[in-house]
A and B are shown apart, each in its own frame.
Chain A
């Protein structure tokens, strides 16, 4: 099979592996398949290396592995059930009790607590390798919680996008349904409800596996929550949402026991949910995998699995654990110490990512190992250095060969089954045995072939699909809503800044130089106000660090109001809520950020000589922001998330329209209507608000202050008008609160919004302009005060929205 696939390439067949490799890389970047490498000190996320040439596992091998894995997860579950019950396995001396009692993952608080269907391991992963005799062995059991499944899915996804033709021809077991099947599986463990609600509990965006958490939650269609998003009341666990408290039935956790409940376990943990154990004890929530299941990751206990197989099931272990020496035992320790080079020393409990990393030990390493071994021998096991599988990879010039490891995924419960999905990780460098993603390893797709007899059969081994009414949607989590609200605001802010600066530069270019410098003043002031500065900011020409205006406003990292600053925060917010943001939207945000980052890394922008380049950047940014709006509109579900994204954009837009307008009009010389400067700045204002054409088609004259103000404030059809924005916000708030358009029952921000609409819509603008002949000093002052007041009320509305829906003190429990 490998040969066939490779020769197709060399014979000039459509499968061009190098081309596929190139395409895959760009797909990986667009999807932003990342891993937070701990060794990267900046804590940045790195794009995972991907090799397009798949690993292939034939049906027979897979079948054999599956049987072994199903038995293994059964035995582990039985062990954990026993340990949390009567501990027969310890009473009968099958497993030494001190291995269990001295392991911090033995949770005394979970002993005697009954879990639904006696299931401790709902979903597990196992790392496999072949031993010296070529027999498959398990080198790591991941029973507390597992990582890697999303990378396995993405590997297939990337290959399908970059080389669809070969995937189609290969006759593979389909994997697309995995997230849904995992969700169905987990829902099956909910207790006493027909409509179980499931969340994924993760430690947050700084965890190395954050990409995996968010991506999985998204694909499963469940909220990704942090400890602070949940609250325990009267032995029930709730999710804080924009609508109130939602009871939660199943928590798919990616947080270790020690961090899951700061009252029951580690008091210094900020990741957990205080009191969660009270819910577990009362059986009101199912934790998957159950509290205490991490004990099964003890490498010494795993060595007793064959004894457990005899004890619990009177069976032989199909898929054994790699043969380990337990250094806590004096005889075994002596053997290890005298042949240290032959062994790979591993800690009993460390969730090490690198089972394979080992070459000959250097002298220093050997000394360290001896010392460590002497000090705490019981903390170590020693494993033989297994010959890793070498797999072909696509190199720069030719085929190369790299060490690789295999991880399989298994559903637990009453009827365990292996999902036909596996993760292949490989070492990036020739000869290296370091395959973990955290230390620079890459991933490949894994092809699990269908057996001859199964080729025509239905591929799915899952249970029947339950047909029922759609679930009531979980309301959006408050933290997520907050992020989406700010994403909307930052997006609008980045757009305004870019557009205002761009128009200013264009206007200066277009107009003759005989205009006095003061003529530009209103526009500079508008720019300053729109970007969060005092209005005389640019006059003082006090730009920090001797930058050009363009550099400062577009690319300065230290200016939080710069376009790069806004886009960075837009991206951070999107990243922190990635499960609520469709990947297409994320891809555009990421591209936008990368474009700006790349420019920021180049030479600083020069306002005079570098104008073409600056305009190029501005145009790209505006295009991408348009693309972002379009992609979001096309891909986002019209639910709560959409409403908060909409609210953020419109509140920001209404605000900038008000501020920019106010600033331009403040210095507008009303008396000298014919002066060119007047038209220039009004014209510029229209262009800044992207409504030049709207104005022309409506008024068919040169711009006047009155008309411009009427347009940008009161025209409900103009997307950037204050009235339009408020209308949009009213609709969103109505949907969020479920009150629709019934204004009479409105309260809180909806009421405030409705009041503002009335005031803007029916404002007598004529009265705000001075009568002809009134003194110059009073010109526009009414209007100015009115606009200033409007701006501050818009800001208060924004605060009211966040107070009501996001920082709520939720008492109302949703039924």
Chain B
């Protein structure tokens, strides 16, 4: 599926600020499941945009604005093509114990995705859920699907009650939050059960695919203004498989991955510091549309 994505992030400061430096992680990654045919970022006020690839293979752009400014807007444009999910998972009949055994030969490579990380903590409730969903004899693929469904059923999607710093423990007690919280909780449970899991930031196509008349029943997919986050679990067969507990689906053709990491801390879309004013207002607009846009190449 071909997508055209426009992502505009704008900070407005209450007073003039100076010396701002930002890191932007908005370019979708290249993977077996998706290919980026074009990408560019524009910064206002105008500044040089440089880039590098980080430890997890994500594409990062940096911008330094040394002079006085009152707002900072980053417009990121890209065209990306996604492929459908595999119809059949290999080794899906393995038990949790079998899987753990297979992972042990890759402990070094998978270490980062098996340990607690900044947002992923083995809180008391987490270990209980891990024990409940992943007893050694349970089939691992089936267990993951039930966990995905359980989270979707028992947690409420509600924007505005949590923020970037919300921990798994807090989310477990309120049971309300956004995709980032869903993802962190699912990762915690998987890791606590000895299954390697990582955080994915990206986009999801939220509008109904077909005309509303034809398909009234098609559920609308949930994301934060099309910016989305979900989970990948390492399958013993050697591939990462995406689970989206906010929507109770597997990662599919309508998901576009931007970046991966241990948790949100590794892949924030925009991270920066500046000198000056103490308050800022953030405005984010994301548009995901089908097909390549006719917009001129930059």
Contacts and interface: CB of A to CB of B under 8 A. Distances in A.
Interface of A: 90-91, 97-98, 101-102, 108-109, 111-112, 228, 231-235, 262-264, 267, 274-275, 278, 281, 809-811
B158 interface: no
Contact of B64 (A232, A264, A811): A232
16 contacts: A90-B108, A97-B108, A108-B54, A232-B21, A234-B50, A263-B21, A263-B62, A264-B23, A274-B64, A274-B273, A275-B21, A275-B64, A281-B52, A809-B67, A810-B66, A811-B67
A233 B55 contact: no
A98 B64 CA distance: 36
**Interface band, chain B:** 20 to 34
Nearest to A110: B55
B52 A234 contact: no
Given A278-B50, A278-B52, A267 B273 contact: yes
Contact of B271 (A91, A231, A232, A263): A263
Given A91-B108, A235-B50, A809-B18, A102 B115 contact: yes
Given A98-B111, A267-B271, A267-B273, A233 B64 contact: yes
A810 B22 CA distance: 19
A262 B22 CA distance: 10
B211 interface: no
A262 B274 CA distance: 10
Residue of A102, A228, A274 most packed against chain B (CB within 10 A):
A274
Nearest to A93: B108
Nearest to B50: A235
A274 B67 CA distance: 15
B68 A809 contact: yes
B272 interface: yes
Contacts of A109: 54-55
A295 to B, nearest CB: 15
Contacts of B18: 809
B111 A101 contact: yes
Given A232-B21, A278-B52, A811-B67, 6 more contacts: A90-B108, A102-B115, A263-B22, A263-B62, A263-B272, A267-B271
Contacts of B55: 108-109, 111-112
B19 interface: yes
The 8 closest A-B pairs by CB, nearest first: A274-B21, A108-B55, A275-B21, A97-B108, A274-B273, A101-B111, A262-B273, A278-B62
A239 to B, nearest CB: 13
Residue of A98, A102, A278 most packed against chain B (CB within 10 A):
A278
A175 to B, nearest CB: 40
B60 to A, nearest CB: 9
Contacts of B19: 231, 274
A262 B273 CA distance: 7
B93 interface: no
Residue of B18, B107, B111 most packed against chain A (CB within 10 A):
B111
B66 A233 contact: yes
A263 B68 contact: no
A87 to B, nearest CB: 8
Contacts of B21: 232, 263, 274-275
B218 interface: no
Contacts of A98: 111
Contacts of B22: 263
B163 interface: no
Contacts of A232: 21, 64
B15 interface: no
B48 interface: yes
A609 to B, nearest CB: 53
Nearest to B51: A278
Interface string B89-123: 00000000000000000011001100100000000
Nearest to A111: B55
Given A101-B112, A234-B50, A263 B23 contact: yes
Interface in B41-100: 48, 50, 52, 54-56, 62, 64, 66-68
Interface in B199-254: none
Nearest to A96: B108
Given A109-B55, A111-B55, A274-B21, A231 B66 contact: yes
B273 A263 contact: yes
Residue of B23, B48, B275 most packed against chain A (CB within 10 A):
B23
Interface string B7-37: 0000000000011011100000000000000
A267 B21 CA distance: 12
A51 B56 CA distance: 53
B115 A234 contact: no
A503 B32 CA distance: 87
A267 B273 CA distance: 8
Contacts of A262: 273
Nearest to A228: B275
A285 to B, nearest CB: 14
B259 to A, nearest CB: 14
B209 to A, nearest CB: 38
A105 to B, nearest CB: 15
Contact of A101 (B52, B67, B115): B115
